[in-house]
Structure 1
Amino acid sequence: MHKIALPERPNWRAYAKEVGFTFADMHGEPYWDESSAYEFSLEQIETDLEDPATELHDMCREAVDHIVKSEALLDRLAIPDAHRDLVLESWQRQDPEIYGRFDFAYDGRSPAKLLEYNADTPTSLYESAAFQWQWLEDQVGAGVLPHGSDQFNGIHEALAARFRAVFAPKSQLHFTAVAGNPEDYGTVEALGWAAREAGLGAHYCDLESIAISDEGQFLDDKDRVMGVLFKLYPWEDLLRDDYAKYIRDSNCLMLEPAWKAVVSNKGLLPVLWQMFEGHPNLLPAFFEADLGGGMTQDGPVAQDVVQSFSRAEAQLNAGYVRKPILSREGASVDIFKDGALLEQAKNSEYSDYPRVIQAYAPLPEFDGFRPVIGAWIVGDSCAGIGIREDKSRITQDLSRFKPHYIKA
């Protein structure tokens, strides 16, 4: 894995504007940055990223089955009491999932380490699936990259195949996001594009324009009943909204499904560690309330947790990350090293939630930037990657997106 300086395409900003990539620059700073790219070998992609991501997805599904049957874990994950049946029934029906994104720390040598699973509303989809693929084709065509250079990117094709597998031809799907957010719209439009390619209808409606019929069904801004709704709005917020009470009887299939509320939650991390302790792609992780020794302790702790912590104590003492169970874009995250605060997120809006402790896996550093590998899961397998980098150790909403290629 190397970071290679490359000439930018002379017309890329005009092309971005033409295709609606309006957030390529944000707040006076580049978001899309093709002044360099990350180079991988095929073995690194297939063995170190693709296969582990697919395996982790299977492990997460095992964790869902464990969590939804445990009132104690649902408490830990702060799933509202009123909607636990909604989550459980969604899992029991096997409501289909479409996509998700694992975030990895990976340096090209050591096993990739799971930082978190963005299982519900991951963004950066358009950049990953479409814009970086066009970058590859253009750079190979211009001779900047050698003929035969490739990219781990079958995301769009996998999404179309997934929609085709889940829904009957000509099924009508709705997509929604908060109005006025170009990045969110780019994500739902990328999904809608794949759905249309799969032979389905794809209709967009601003989240704020959704209404409820007298019969309790969701209606779009043209008063059409929504039978399938992809919402770029996280379950942890939706389950606390007034709309939540209508979901169960609305006859509307939600994408992502309600059971994803338990895997888009950072509480998944200690559950995975307890179920699969020592897995090469996992970091030791615990609920903060279970830990003493300078961290907080909240009542009796199961003996297996005590023993697991004892085995991981040296690694945690060297460095750990404290994360709220509900958090977005690195908000309210603290990194400690050798007992001292190393870095703290500027955004603290999630600081009131319970927290988990995860062993610290330092991101590799290239030219002062630290990349996080986003491994995209479509259906039940990994279909591609996208890379975000930042000078900070905490990846945030304005961290840069970098293209990648597989060396010919």
Structure 2
Amino acid sequence: MENRGFHQTCSWAWETAFDQIREVSDREFAAVPIRTGHPQNEVRLIDVLLRPEVLVFEPLWTVIPGNKAILPILWSLFPHHRYLLDTDFTVNDELVKTGYAVKPIAGRCGSNIDLVSHHEEVLDQTSGKFAEQKNIYQQLWCLPKVDGKYIQVCTFTVGGNYGGTCLRGDESLLGHQKRE
């Protein structure tokens, strides 16, 4: 809430807060103290996240399943599981054979992804603000194409229960064109 009691909304990623913590840690401390305000009177995301008047819609635990670094770990624990794609922190021989996607570990909204064919040619790519992050490399698996559009099924939960389903269609492999 702003100082007059009106609700403010904004969108951010937990990774933004972690980046701020890392930056301050590298520069000043072994462990960053939680404090209000900044020496230069700049308000940082990490200074307000845990305040009682801040309502967070995406809780901190979502960082774990939302972070793509979990995917190579899952693949190593359950190789060739029917619901997993081969994923590694480096390009391996199997990925070169099938083609692969290059994805930033904490990327969001399809930013900074490259799709590379088994002939090592870039099929599609997106740009964004995650170019400096470390990447994972995941087996290429293209979405089904229906009437000239690649279709993605999206499902949502509300309060731990089914909340809805929608279909997104796009003419590009990565969905960075006009979505319907």
TM-score by length of 2: 0.71
User: Comparing both structures, which one devotes a greater share of its residues to helix?
Assistant: 1
Q: CA deviation at 1:254?
A: 2.4
Which residue pairs with 2:81 in the alignment? 279
For the structure 1 residues 261 and 340, does the alpha-carbon distance in structure 2 shift closer, same or farther, using more than 3 Å as the test?
same
SS at structure 1 position matched to 2:63: helix
- Is 1:390 the equivalent of 2:153? no
Which residue pairs with 1:362 in the alignment? 142
- Is 1:350 the equivalent of 2:152? no
Paired residues, what number? 156
- Deviations 1:96-150 (CA, angstroms, capped at 9, x unpaired): xxxxxxxxxxxxxxxxxxxxxxxxxxxxxxxxxxxxxxxxxxxxxxxxxxxxxxx
**Structure 1 segments unaligned to the other structure (5+ residues):** 1-218, 294-312, 402-408
Counterpart Cα distance in 2 of 1:340 and 1:364: 22
Q: What CA RMSD, in Å, does the superposition of the two structures yield over aligned residues?
A: 2.8
- Deviations 1:51-90 (CA, angstroms, capped at 9, x unpaired): xxxxxxxxxxxxxxxxxxxxxxxxxxxxxxxxxxxxxxxx
Q: CA deviation at 1:231?
A: 5.3
Are the counterparts in 2 of residues 285 and 356 from structure 1 also a CA contact under 8 Å?
A: yes
Give the share of equivalent positions with the same residue, in percent: 24
Are the counterparts in 2 of residues 364 and 371 from structure 1 also a CA contact under 8 Å?
A: yes
Are the counterparts in 1 of residues 117 and 123 from structure 2 also a CA contact under 8 Å?
A: no
What letter matches 1:267 in structure 2?
A
SS at structure 2 position matched to 1:393: coil
Larger relative contact order, structure 1 or 2 (CA cutoff 8 Å, min sep 6): 1
Are the counterparts in 2 of residues 231 and 256 from structure 1 also a CA contact under 8 Å?
A: no
- Deviations 1:28-62 (CA, angstroms, capped at 9, x unpaired): xxxxxxxxxxxxxxxxxxxxxxxxxxxxxxxxxxx
Q: Indicate which of 7, 18, 28 corresponds to 1:239.
A: 18
For the structure 1 residues 230 and 267, does the alpha-carbon distance in structure 2 shift closer, same or farther, using more than 3 Å as the test?
farther
TM-score by length of 1: 0.34
Q: CA deviation at 1:247?
A: 2.8
What letter matches 1:264 in structure 2?
G
For the structure 1 residues 264 and 343, does the alpha-carbon distance in structure 2 shift closer, same or farther, using more than 3 Å as the test?
same
Larger radius of gyration: 1
Which residue pairs with 2:2 in the alignment? 220
Counterpart Cα distance in 1 of 2:4 and 2:96: 54
- Deviations 1:177-231 (CA, angstroms, capped at 9, x unpaired): xxxxxxxxxxxxxxxxxxxxxxxxxxxxxxxxxxxxxxxxxx435247x8xx985
Counterpart Cα distance in 2 of 1:278 and 1:292: 15
SS at structure 1 position matched to 2:133: coil
In the TM superposition, 1:8-407 aligns within 5 A as 219-223=1-5, 232-241=11-20, 242-248=44-50, 250-251=51-52, 252-288=54-90, 291=91, 313=94, 317-396=97-176, 398-401=177-180
For the structure 1 residues 244 and 268, does the alpha-carbon distance in structure 2 shift closer, same or farther, using more than 3 Å as the test?
same
Are the counterparts in 1 of residues 99 and 118 from structure 2 also a CA contact under 8 Å?
A: yes
**Structure 2 segments unaligned to the other structure (5+ residues):** 21-43
For the structure 1 residues 233 and 220, does the alpha-carbon distance in structure 2 shift closer, same or farther, using more than 3 Å as the test?
same
Q: CA deviation at 1:324?
A: 0.9
Q: CA deviation at 1:283?
A: 1.1
What letter matches 2:76 in structure 1?
Q
For the structure 1 residues 261 and 230, does the alpha-carbon distance in structure 2 shift closer, same or farther, using more than 3 Å as the test?
farther
For the structure 1 residues 255 and 390, does the alpha-carbon distance in structure 2 shift closer, same or farther, using more than 3 Å as the test?
same
Which residue pairs with 2:33 in the alignment? none
Counterpart Cα distance in 2 of 1:240 and 1:223: 29
